Chain A
C-alpha cells in the first residue's frame, strides 16, 4: 500500500476513469496527448485551439440543425403522387395511436438530445473563447454534454436514411431535399467535434477559467 503522505497534492493528480490508476498531471507540450499507463485510454490533450474550434463548430451545427429539421428532407414520387417529408413531419406521422412512444424516442435521439448537447456545450465553454469567466452553471452544462453523448444519434439516423432510400428505390422515385444535405453536414461536424473534444482537458480549462 502506498503511503498517502508520499503522494503529491491531490489537485496535481489525475485518475484514469477506466482503471483508477493515478497519474501526475503535467503540462503537455502543445499538440501532444497523454495516455493512461495501464489501460491506454486517452487522458489529456494539449490543443490550445480546441476550445475555439469546438465552439465555432457547435454554433455551425446548431444553425444546420435548424435547417435540417425545417426544410424538406426527402420527396417521394410514385406515379404522380407526391409526399414531401421534413424531419418534423417524420416525427409527427407516428404521433397517432400506438406510434407515440416511437415518435418520442425518434424525436429525442435525432433532434432534441443532439440540440441540447450542442447548446449546453456552447453555454459551458463559449465564454472561455474570449477569456471571460465561465457561467455559474457551466460545469453542470458540460457534465450534461458528456452524459448525453451516447444518446445523440444523428449519425446513426443518417445511415438509417441511406438504408431506407435503397429499400424504396425500386418502388418509387425519391429526391433528396436541402434538409438532407444540412443533416449530412451536421453529422460530419458532430463526428469531427467529438474527435477533438477531450473531456479532461475541458474540465481543466473550466477550472483555469474560474480561477482567472
Chain B
C-alpha cells in the first residue's frame, strides 16, 4: 500500500478483488462480465466444472490406454514371416537391435510419459480438495510439465504412420498399423484434453484456503 497507493502491494487475486480475469489474454473485467471485451473469449472467475471434465477425460484416456498396450501397434508381413508387435514389443525389438537410445525414446514417450501423466493429473485433481505435502510451487511446476510433455507421447503413432506408408512393397514386405495405433492416439488426445480442462487457478486457491 505504501509506495503505489493501491491494493497491489499485497498479492491480490482478481477474484478477491471482486474482478474476473480472462485466462486467454489477461484482460481484467468487473465482476459479472461473461465475455472478454478484448478477445471475446468466455469469462469465468473459476471453471467450476473443471474437475468433472478433468476426471472424465482422464478416465477415458486410461481406458483407451489398455487396448493400446494389449493389441499390436505394427503388423509386419514379409515373404517369410508375419509378425505383430505391441508397444512394449517394439521397444524390446529395438533393444535386440542394440538401438538403446531409440528404445529409450520410445519407452519414455509411449509408456513412462502416459502413465506418469495419469498419476500426475489425478494427483493434481485430488490436491485441489485436500491439504498437500507438495508445496503449491511444486504442484504448479508439475502442472506445467504435464501440460508441456503430454503431446510428446504421439511419437509412436507417427512412427507407425511413417513405417506403414514407407514399407509397402507388395509381396516382399508390408507394414500396417494395428488397432493399438488408434487407441493409443485416442489415449494421448484424451489425456491432453484432461490437462487442458484443468484450471490451474484452483491449485492456488486450495493453498490460500488451507493457510
Contact = CB atoms under 8 A, between A and B. Distances in A.
**Same assembly:** yes
Given A15-B26, A90-B162, A94-B161, A150 B192 contact: yes
Interface string A1-17: 11110111011011111
A58 B28 CA distance: 30
Question: Which of A43, A90, A94, A164 counts the most B-chain CB atoms under 10 A from its CB?
Answer: A164
A143 to B, nearest CB: 5
Given A20-B14, A203-B25, A74 B162 contact: yes
By size class, the interface of chain B is 35 or more
Contacts of B53: none
19 contacts: A1-B17, A2-B17, A13-B19, A18-B201, A21-B14, A24-B6, A93-B168, A94-B161, A102-B185, A105-B157, A143-B39, A143-B41, A156-B152, A159-B152, A160-B154, A160-B156, A199-B24, A203-B27, A203-B39
B15 interface: yes
A151 B27 CA distance: 25
B14 A74 contact: no
Contacts of B209: none
B211 interface: no
Given A76-B166, A102-B182, A163-B155, A20 B105 contact: no
A8 B6 contact: yes
A142 to B, nearest CB: 8
Contacts of B137: 39-40
Contact of A167 (B7, B102, B154, B165): B102
A26 to B, nearest CB: 11
A109 B189 CA distance: 11
Question: Which of B170, B192, B204 counts the most A-chain CB atoms under 10 A from its CB?
Answer: B204
B181 A17 contact: no
A160 B161 contact: yes
B13 A20 contact: yes
A99 interface: yes
Contact of B18 (A4, A37, A79): A4
Question: Which of A2, A74, A94 counts the most B-chain CB atoms under 10 A from its CB?
Answer: A2
In order of increasing CB-CB distance, the 8 nearest A-B pairs are A160-B158, A15-B21, A90-B165, A2-B7, A20-B13, A203-B25, A19-B204, A164-B162
Nearest to A106: B161
Interface of B: 4, 6-8, 10-19, 21-30, 38-41, 94, 97, 99, 102, 105-106, 137, 140, 143-144, 147, 150-152, 154-170, 172-173, 176-177, 181-182, 185, 189, 192, 196, 200-201, 203-205
A105 B185 CA distance: 8
Contacts, number: 222
Contacts of A20: 13-15, 21, 201, 204-205
Nearest to A13: B28
Contact of B140 (A4, A18, A159): A18
A6 B152 CA distance: 46
A1 B6 contact: no
A71 B181 CA distance: 26
Interface residues of A, number: 74
Nearest to A174: B166
Given A20-B15, A21-B14, 14 more contacts: A8-B6, A15-B13, A15-B22, A19-B200, A19-B201, A20-B201, A37-B11, A38-B204, A98-B182, A146-B24, A164-B166, A166-B94, A170-B97, A203-B26
B204 A85 contact: no
B1 to A, nearest CB: 8
Contacts of B140: 18-19, 39
A168 B166 contact: yes
Contact of A76 (B13, B156, B167): B167
